[in-house]
Amino acid sequence: MKYVRFKSGDNTSWGILEGNKINELSDNYVLSESKTTDNVFNVEDVSMLSPVAPGKVIAIGLNYKSHLGDKPAPEVPEPFFKLPDTLIGNNDNIIVPKEASENNLTVQPEAELCLVIGKGGKRITQSDALSHVFGYTCGNDVSVRDWQQNDLQWWRAKSCDTFTVIGPWIETEVDAANTQIICRINGEEVQNQNTSDLLHKVPKIIEFVSSMITLNAGDVIMTGTPGKPKNMYDGDRVEVEIEGIGILSNTIKNES
């Protein structure tokens, strides 16, 4: 089942996507027992938003063998935070700050499987972890590599405005342990890997993160990116496609 968040006029609503129709729900599907209303919208008549408004976005670094390079494999998941107010959705523009574009810094996409927590908790066990997942969506952890390599922390490299890209919807029926992730820039495939290559699988990630911090309904965990992404430039169109979910598509724009 595909869950969406959308804007019609001045109203932000939640709904279930069926074909090109959205059946509106009474409330935020992640946070409450929402019910279907009598309102039905055509997709072309609304503005689609990122499908979740998380309190926390937790990303996992170095979590694919193909992304490690010469770095040793981490023994445990390596989380870092992305600011939730830097989040954008499908078809929104990714804005590269002047400080990066005017200095010709390297900006790259990171295609990632994202999970959305549906039932919060602390010290969740691996055996119970998947019962805490509401669903899955596509993510793009936009990264300025120069800042990532040279700054003391990754906040600037990965948490500029618009650098947390999630969408186009939440899909509840996904095999997180065996699904294909593809990234394209202007139609050229630049990443292609199966989640079976994850070093730390979804249950272990949830167990590890929740041992330190409480996970709440609506929180998002980005599980890591494979391979060696290519550079993105002003005007490029980047797509993240995940088998069983769909395609997250955005245009790159330099800050004017």
Assign 3-class secondary structure to the chain.
Answer: CEEEEEEECCEEEEEEEECCEEEEECCCCCCCCCCEEEEEEEHHHCEEECCCCCCCEEEEECCEHHHCCCCCCCCCCEEEEECHHHEECCCCEEEECHHHHCCCCCEECCEEEEEEECCCECCCCHHHHHHHEEEEEEEEECEEHHHHHHCCCCHHHHCCCCCEEEEEEEECCCCCCCCEEEEEECCEEEEEEEHHHECCCHHHHHHHHHHHCCECCCCEEECCCCCCCCCCCCCCEEEEEECCCEEEEEEEEECC
User: Could you give the residue range(s) of every CATH 3.90.850.10 domain in the chain?
Assistant: 57-254
Task: Answer left, alpha or beta for residue 121, where phi above 0 means left and psi between -120 and 50 means alpha.
Answer: left
Residue 104: pLDDT band (50, 70, 90) is: very high
CB 107 within 8 A of CB 232: yes
Tell the CATH topology of 2-48.
SH3 type barrels. (2.30.30)
Q: Please, what is the average pLDDT of the chain?
A: 97
Q: Give the β-pairing of 133-141 and 237-242.
A: unpaired
Give the pLDDT score at 151.
Answer: 96
Q: Which of 21-25, 70-74, 223-227, 246-250 has the lowest mean pLDDT?
A: 70-74
User: Could you give the residue range(s) of every CATH 2.30.30.370 domain in the chain?
Assistant: 2-48
pLDDT above 80: residue 133: yes
What whole-number distance in Å separates Cα of residue 19 and Cα of residue 243?
17
Residue 69: pLDDT band (50, 70, 90) is: confident
Please give the single-letter amino acid code of residue 40.
V
Q: Does the domain at residues 57-254 carry the CATH identifier 3.40.50.2000? A: no
Q: Give the β-pairing of 87-88 and 164-171.
A: parallel
Give the pLDDT score at 161.
Answer: 98
- pTM (2 decimals)? 0.96
Work out the number of other CB atoms within 10 angstroms of the CB of residue 227: 18
The average pLDDT across 130-134 equals 98
The average pLDDT across 195-202 equals 96
Residue 9: pLDDT band (50, 70, 90) is: very high
